Structure 1
């Protein structure tokens, strides 16, 4: 019998990875690493924003998200869906529509004029809110949004992303310490497995990514990125 992790990869991870590869949202560049917003240097970058331009592909991703979240937490446990500025907003809108729930969006900081709002929409105290973003590296930005929602009176215990790097230690544990469960469809292990199976990248590129995945912190530090 397959393990829960392998079963999830087969149902959600590998299909999501294939979609991202097919629409060219996956970028492998070991020789010219990317600097992520979290400060980590990475030879790989996922552009989940690209999904907004592909109608059928986004429908499939949203359907998988709704199914996985329904199994993991149950939709009756959610009152509203909140998208994190900016890439999380379309995903939150699609998911909220699919499950017929109200939506919010959360800014990284108050906008600084008018109502000086950080949260847009109609949020009442005690509402159970699911936070949605496109991807996660170390989870820090998720806590920024979670704290803003909680300060405004929401109850937030779950966050969802389409793609989770899944290689930087402590991301899920740090969120768990704050009472937040992270849900996701795919990780780099899914993308790498699918890319190898489909021959999407040359062997030397795959080898460079494997080197990064074996020691992501050391790989980042050696190239001028975060070291811890």
Structure 2
């Protein structure tokens, strides 16, 4: 779910202007979920620019604050690794506790994967940078619930929103994002960053990311 169409375009432009969008040249990008893609969004490039980063986090905090109040969210949890920085800056703006969720448990017990103090039954906001088919977000939410936390909301900076979504492994969560692929595609065109070959490649990808993935050696299923 995109928070605001009016906010999405500036966020997409910021990603393009920060040179955070990589286009494949011959060899496609392969996401951890198995999809082959002609585009990769490197959020770290945007976070390395203090002014744009500050504007982005201010926008993110303003967008999610009403949801935080409505749901009674009491803590922000950042996923390893990119989500931790975003979660930290966001937790500061929302005046909420910050915790971090490892990709894999280290040690034993419920705190093996979650680091930080969390009140029993606390409702949390899970934060990451990018989402493709929801696979890693579902797994992170399931891991967080095993600690006794409640998590109904996941916040990402960017959601491709064009891939079939993996069925949730636990009770579903609501995925919130500031921008999606259609906003980023428009921003790339607007900035004049695409030559004829890139325009053709991204048009084919946008028309069917599944077919594009399969044709370039990636997965064709989300499950």
Instruction: Mark yes or no: TM-score above 0.5.
Output: yes
CA contact (8 A) 1:128 1:156 kept: yes
| RMSD of Structure 2 on Structure 1 (CA) | 2.3
Asked if 1:26 is matched to 2:25, the reply is no
Deviation per residue, 1:9-58 (Å, 9 max, x gap): 2x221111111111110012263210111100000000012223111111
Structure 2: distance between partners of 1:137 and 1:73? 24
Query: Residue 40 of structure 1 aligns with which residue?
Result: 35
Q: 1:62 aligns with which of 57, 60, 64?
A: 57
Query: Residue 195 of structure 1 aligns with which residue?
Result: 188
- Secondary structure of the 1:189 match is helix
Deviates more, 1:56-65 or 1:90-99: 56-65
Q: 1:221 aligns with which of 203, 214, 218?
A: 214
Structure 1: distance between partners of 2:199 and 2:12? 15
Deviation at 1:165, TM superposition (A): 1.0
Structure 1: distance between partners of 2:24 and 2:146? 40
Deviation at 1:76, TM superposition (A): 6.2
Q: 1:8 aligns with which of 4, 7, 30?
A: 4
**Can you give the 5+ residue segments of structure 1 that lack an aligned partner in the other structure?**
none
CA contact (8 A) 1:138 1:168 kept: yes
Asked if 1:100 is matched to 2:95, the reply is yes
Deviates more, 1:75-84 or 1:138-147: 75-84
| Residues 115, 218 of structure 1: alpha-carbon distance in 2 compared, 3 angstrom cutoff | closer
5 Å-filtered alignment, 1:98-137, equals: 98-112=93-107, 117-137=112-132
Deviation at 1:223, TM superposition (A): 1.3
Q: 1:49 aligns with which of 38, 44, 48?
A: 44
Query: Residue 185 of structure 1 aligns with which residue?
Result: 178
- Secondary structure of the 1:65 match is helix
5 Å-filtered alignment, 1:126-165, equals: 126-165=121-160
| Residues 89, 60 of structure 1: alpha-carbon distance in 2 compared, 3 angstrom cutoff | same
- Report the TM-score, using the length of structure 2 for normalisation: 0.91
| Number of aligned positions between the proteins | 221
CA contact (8 A) 1:127 1:154 kept: yes
CA contact (8 A) 1:30 1:205 kept: no
Structure 2: distance between partners of 1:79 and 1:41? 37
| Residues 116, 135 of structure 1: alpha-carbon distance in 2 compared, 3 angstrom cutoff | same
- Secondary structure of the 1:162 match is strand
Structure 2: distance between partners of 1:26 and 1:146? 27
**Can you give the 5+ residue segments of structure 2 that lack an aligned partner in the other structure?**
none
- Secondary structure of the 1:74 match is helix
Structure 2: distance between partners of 1:129 and 1:193? 33
